[in-house]
Structure 1
Amino acid sequence: GNGRRSWSIIIAIVAPIAAFILLFILTCWLLKRGTRKYNAIHGENGYDITTIESLKYDFTTIEAATDKFSDANKLGKGGFGEVYKRLSRGSGQGTEEFENEAVLIAKLQHRNLVSVLGFCLERDEKILVYEYVPNKSLDYFIFDRAKEGQLDWSRRYKIIGRIACGILYLHEDSRPRIIHRDLKASNILLDGDMSPQISDFGMARIFGIDQTQGTTRKIAGTYGYMSPEYAMQGKFSMKSDVYSFGVLVLEIISGLRNRDFYETDGAEDLISYAWKLWKDERPLELLNPVLKNDYSRNEVTKCIQLGLLCVQEDPADRPTMATIVLKLNRHSAKLPMPKQPAFVFDSRTDGRMPDKGLESDQSTTQSMPPSIN
């Protein structure tokens, strides 16, 4: 009887302790599992409350910084408005979507991308705040006869290489991958060291890991930089950015605008002019005369060849940004010979400029918020 009583006492003591230990272990396991799941969903994408709150600006602060959005403080214009700028109040983007995507853009960290400092959601306003870049945009220098001499060939070559690195980051190294869709000289800002920073993500698109192409029914972009498949069919991909980069490279070399090109030597635009000179084995004639006294023949020829490869009509014939960066960093780089590039004239788009603004699309990608610099 005493033995049974002792075992009963032991069981009565041990059982609750064992049950408590098991319950404690189970609780810890569930908490750890929940934390991992939360981090996977929220932390990895940066959508947690702390991150969002740390990026918020109040409207009064922004209004004071821009002197109530006065013209005197306007730096320029982007795809969706002035470059200090705020979103249209008519934007259909929801508050939660805007917050999440503002945080997403803020997580893009590269020396050649303009940094996002925060955002504001007050008084029916949606505003993104970018860091200030002091030396205005690239077009301010390369298309101005009084200022073009400030960028010698060595500096221009570095600018081309750094822009390529920034686009490569967006295409392959950022998470998620991003297609900019509005690369142009006015969207390349120059910092105090004249190093380029890509800005204005108002038309950018997020691409999934396995996604290679998107489509839209409403074309938004800048004529002269848009690839033919995008301008005429609404199809866009990484190779659309490559096309825009090619146009930009030819503009940096020549100091001529593709979209405002005056007919020269029988060519109707900068691309056809560059192609004609290449075919005639006179590529160096494309170089801006202000640069003729000090330049690398090899670098200029390589950049012209890369520029022409980037504007090939078939996207499959255009190099990737990884290939472009690799070739720019090599002194002797063997490149394929370019074919006749794509020429997009007004007549091929019914003489109309593409619509600009928010898009109504059928793409499986998500849209990024129009940007405020």
Structure 2
Amino acid sequence: MHREGRRKGLELPLFSFATVVAATDNFSPTNKLGQGGFGPVYKGKLPEGPEIAVKRLSRSSGQGLEEFKNEIILIAKLQHMNLVRILGCCIEGEEKILLYEYMPNKSLDSFLFDPTKGKLLDWGKRVHIINGIAQGLLYLHKYSRLRVIHRDLKASNILLDGKMNPKISDFGMARIFGRNESEANTNRVVGTYGYMSPEYAMEGLFSEKSDVFSFGVLLLEIVSGKKNTSFYHSDRSLNLLGYAWELWKDGRVSELMDPMLGDPTSTCCNILRFIQMGLLCVQESAKDRPTMSDVVSMLGNEMATLTNPKQPAFFLGRRGLEENSSKNRTENCSNNDLTISEIEAR
């Protein structure tokens, strides 16, 4: 692997811009994997080394530099099989670039919400993905050297390796918590509409329970194959959480199951339990939600009795969120999954 040393304080291998250019065939459009709020992502190949994903900071991205610094500081200190691994960075002139391990199956949303590829996610694979995400989040909240709140957990930030193992990615919006710190407040919200907890979206309050809420949304999306930001029973403006709650109250929650999973009889009871876990995670009050330790325990013990969830937080249309939040803060939304990506220094 061609490394050009380490910059003081970075704790990461430093690559020259020439090496990155060669690895990506001069950022060839044929190597482009995607485009995020941070900037474009390319596939590359290091000389006599592994395939890589190259995230290049867009020069037009005003908030991207803060995300870049944040991601370098955080991800260099985090190591877990369910977190994407960073291989190095390039800081040269105006170029700010991160090099990651390449994930051949791209992101979870590319499977989950695709009418063809979704069929490849049978129930066993979905359970494996849910468990892996939960383990990665538990590590961030409890077992890593730093206690980290991700703040932007969503299907497009879950990458899949060649064996469909999930890896949490994109730590540009994450925040480090002190061991005795339980909650923090910000005047500017970052994250993605549809995955944000109500106390965060409306009041700027975030905690481990904010990530638990996002995990609950993700769990319900994985079970249903539906996006939370799509609307169901549009005359009542119900998103996925509202729809799941209505089905739960009516005793028809099995109807939430993704039809691509086929005959529900063999997995029905198991799936209903997962839906119940998802609803517990998205309850309106943060104190009612389980911790990730609780979630991992529930996932690992099928015999444990689950409590009945209280009403989840769900917004009756995007306008309600915008009207409430605009009273207190300024928000910038990108066109990428409606990511609210205003960065605010602590």
Please report the TM-score for the alignment, with normalisation by the length of structure 1. Answer: 0.77
Question: Greater strand percent: which structure?
Answer: 2
**Do 1:79 and 1:200's aligned partners in 2 also have CA atoms closer than 8 Å?**
no
**Do 2:188 and 2:204's aligned partners in 1 also have CA atoms closer than 8 Å?**
yes
Q: Distance in 2 between matches of 1:293 and 1:131?
A: 37
Q: SS of 2:148's equivalent?
A: strand
Q: How does 1:98-247 map to 2 (within 5 A)?
A: 98=69, 102=72, 104-247=74-217
Partner of residue 259, structure 2: 289
Partner of residue 350, structure 1: 322
Equivalenced residues, count: 312
Q: Distance in 1 between matches of 2:64 and 2:222?
A: 37
Give the root-mean-square deviation of aligned CA atoms: 2.5
Partner of residue 68, structure 1: 26
Cα 1:92–1:110, aligned 2, differ >3 Å: closer, same or farther? closer
**Do 1:133 and 1:189's aligned partners in 2 also have CA atoms closer than 8 Å?**
yes
Deviation at residue 67 of structure 1 after TM alignment:
2.7
Q: SS of 1:175's equivalent?
A: coil
Moved more, 71-80 or 208-217: 71-80
Partner of residue 280, structure 1: 250
Q: Percent identical across equivalent pairs?
A: 55
Give the letter aligned to residue 289 of structure 2.
R
Q: Distance in 2 between matches of 1:81 and 1:273?
A: 34
**Do 1:216 and 1:359's aligned partners in 2 also have CA atoms closer than 8 Å?**
no
Residue segments in structure 1 that go unaligned for 5+ positions in a row: 1-47, 364-373
Moved more, 112-121 or 60-69: 60-69
CA deviations on 1:169-197 (whole Å, 9 max, x unpaired) are: 01111111111111111111111111101
Q: Distance in 2 between matches of 1:265 and 1:349?
A: 18
Larger-Rg structure: 1
Question: Greater helix percent: which structure?
Answer: 1
Q: Distance in 2 between matches of 1:207 and 1:143?
A: 33
Higher relative contact order (CA 8 A, sep 6+): 1
Q: Distance in 1 between matches of 2:247 and 2:217?
A: 15
Deviation at residue 115 of structure 1 after TM alignment:
0.2
Please report the TM-score for the alignment, with normalisation by the length of structure 2. Answer: 0.83
Q: How does 1:325-364 map to 2 (within 5 A)?
A: 325-344=296-315, 345-350=317-322, 354-355=331-332, 356-361=340-345, 363=346
CA deviations on 1:240-259 (whole Å, 9 max, x unpaired) are: 11111000011001111111
Deviation at residue 61 of structure 1 after TM alignment:
1.1
Cα 1:177–1:137, aligned 2, differ >3 Å: closer, same or farther? same
Q: SS of 2:167's equivalent?
A: strand
